[in-house]
Structure formats: structure tokens, C-alpha cells
Amino acid sequence: MSGGPRGFIVAAARSGAGKTVIALGLMRALARRGHVVQTFKCGPDYIDPAFHGVAAGKPSFNLDTWSMAPPTLAGLVQRHAADLVVVEGVMGLFDGVASVGQTARGATADLAALTGWPIVLVLDVSGQAETAAAVATGLARYRDDITVAGIILNRVASPRHLATIAPSLEREGLKLFGAIATNNRFALPERHLGLVQAVEMADVPQRLDVLADTVEASLDLPAIEAAARPATLPAAGSTAGLSPPGQRIALAQDRAFTFMYPHLLESWRMAGAEIVPFSPLADEAPDASADAVWLPGGYPELHAGTLAAANRFMDGLRAHAARSVPIHGECGGYMVLGQGLEDAGGVHHAMAGLLRLESSFAKRRLHLGYRRAKLLADNVLGNAGTEIAGHEFHYASIQSVGDEPLVDCRDATGGAVAEAGARRRSVSGTFFHAIDRWQT
């Protein structure tokens, strides 16, 4: 696709540099100026795109070059063209996995090279002076298939601090889009998987307006707008992503179950499926007429007591299972389908008991990374032998599992991953979240 939507990618040298809040401020400020802004998130993330959606007033989508096939990526960009595209990068600009996935290695720079969108580089300059210019120069020249359009300096201590950096950037031919002072108001609350979810913060619009006000006062917005370039992706062609798990899909959706990739819901609807949301926290049962039930990930560990006492919800799940309706859970949803969940305080909560899984948060252990999983049996994800690209990120531990494995799971290097999901009759679950069918 030549001449696709104009856009740019907000990237940084590392995680924690302020990339998310500055990207949100830019999205909000540009939308307030009358632009139709389409937002994307580079990589596998559920939390940041929810904030993007509030900032720009329309849903945000993930663009992941490791797990998504080229037609999936191109289709998302093509379907969601707008006046201006703003993409939030992931980790540091060149940080991806060692091995190429379906399209590339998952780095922000890979997406920039693929789309032709230039980089707006955020640098945290706290504790640095001219060295910051050296870092910016290295990042701008490290790969010749991407373009760094300009620099935003973050956490600048004073005008004097700025004066130790700006001349060096000019000398190296790097445009300075502006500087943002150190400000504790320019932050969002966090928890163990990232930012506190947008759905849990009633004052999100006001917080985003503060970010936008700061961006408008501190940065050269017209110059940033002018730096945007058209996408250069090839035509989308046909895509063979994940098929809908049913015609009428009951989808758990509330504060405990929010981690659902928007592109999957979009593709299911495009295939003619109907999505019927329900809230387990409100003790709602999945729709009785649904021919599939999907429990996404989220934070069931924070609401385990409420879920354990949600009898209508649990009985509804069991009734669907008794009728052999396909039920699938991802990460948090998988744990809820199990026999029990131990919360961070060591309290055990009985869950649905549809799988022989016992999980625990009492001893935190990080599980993180891309997954390439081959299905060992037919289920809602596809036929036996189908390979699924996904991602796993949680702190739970498996205490026991007693069902048949669902997948042969590998990491991004091809190394074996012990966690193989589980299946029992029509019920299945995995700790990884499915993103796309493996098409290469």
C-alpha cells in the first residue's frame, strides 16, 4: 500500500523514559486541534491502548511485527486510516527478540522500517547533559532503514540544563521538538503489569488533558505534525488470522477481564460473529444462547473473592460446559476455569473447576515472552497442527495441572516452554494470549 496514512512513531532509548505519557499527551493534543487521530501500540500490550482510545476518541490497535503476519499488519493500517497516525513504541527503539517472527523481531525500529513512519524520539535526560546528544546521535544513525525526525527531551531540570544539550543536538543535525520539565503531575499510577487500567480511573480524561496542556506548552506541535510521513506498507491482500470461536460469542468484560486484543474482536465481527459481553464481577452468566464462551486475561487475582462468590457466573459456565459449548480462557481467564486460585496473600479461592488447574500468586514469578504454539487437538483456536503466535506476561505459578496439554509451546528462539495449556472436553485454556495464526 503506497501513500497510506501519514503518521509517526513515538519511541525512546529505554523503558521508563516517559514515552507513554508523552505519546498520550501528543495524541490528546492533536485530537483537540481537530485531527482525526488513529493510534496504535507497537507490540503486545492491552493497557496502553485503552488510554490511547480515551486520548484520541477512537479505538487503538496493536501492531506487532513478531507475532503478526504481513497481511494482518497491512490490513490494520489500511482499515484504520485517519488524518494522522500516532504510534507508541515498545521498550527501547531497537529492543526486540533475537529471532525473526512472522514479519520481523518485534522492535519499534522494525515497525518504522516496515511502514516508513519516522521516529519522534523521547529522551529522559535526568542526570545527563551533553551525553544525551551522543545517545540521540547513536540512535539516529544506528540503522539506515529508519528516520529519526526529531527529539523530545524529557525530565529537563532547568533552562540551564537544556542549554547543555540543545547546541549539541543542533551540531549533529538533530531537530529538537521541545523539552518537558520534570513534573510529578506528568505521571500515571502503576501496578505489577503496567499502568493501572484506564477503566479503573474515573479521571482519565482530566489526566490526559493535563498531559496535552503540557505538550502544547512545551513542544512544537506544528513541526511534529509536519514530520509525519505516509505509510509505505504493501497492499493487505488476504489474511488467515484466528477464526471466530463461534457465531455468538459470550465475552467476559469487566475490571477483572480486560486483556483482549481489539484486532481479534474486529476480525471476528468482520467474519460475521456476534460478541455478547457479560460481567462476571456483576455475577452475570454467559448468554445462554452463546455457542462459545471466551474469558480474556486481566486481574482476577485482585477480585478472586468476588469471583468465587459469583454463583450465577460459575453455574452458567458449568451449564455451558455440560452442553459441550466451547469455553476458552487466556491467562487470568484460564486460571478462573481451574479448580482454585491462591491470591498474593496466600488465601485460596475456589474457581469454576472445569479444568484441573491450581494457580498461585503467593510467590511472584515473572513469565514473559512471545509464544509459538502448535495445537495438539482441535479446539476454538483452530485445528490440530495449526500454529498460533501469542504472548505471555503474568506473575502466577502453576501448582498443579491434571488435564491433557493443549499445545506444544515454544518461545521466540524456538526453545521449549513447559506451560502447555490444558483441555478437557470442550473447555480449554492457555497462559499465553493468542495474537495471530502463524502464516510463514
Catalytic residues: 331
Q: Using the structure block, give the residue that is written with the C-alpha cell 482510545.
A: 53
Rounded Cα distance, 205 and 218, in Å = 20
Q: Which amino acid, 427? A: V
Show the cell assigned to 428.
480449554
Rounded Cα distance, 119 and 229, in Å = 10
**Residue whose C-alpha is closest to residue 352's, from 337, 371, 342:** 337
Show the cell assigned to 118.
519516522
Greatest extent of the chain over all pairs of C-alpha atoms, in Å: 71
Rounded Cα distance, 146 and 232, in Å = 12
Rg (CA), the chain: 22
List 404's β-bridge partners, or say none: 423
Contact indicator for 431, 334 with CB cutoff of 8 Å: yes
Other Cβ atoms less than 10 A from the Cβ of 54: the count is 19
Other Cβ atoms less than 10 A from the Cβ of 411: the count is 16
DSSP codes, 407-439 = EEEE-TTS-EES---EEETTEEEESSEEEEE--
The SS3 assignment for 319 reads helix
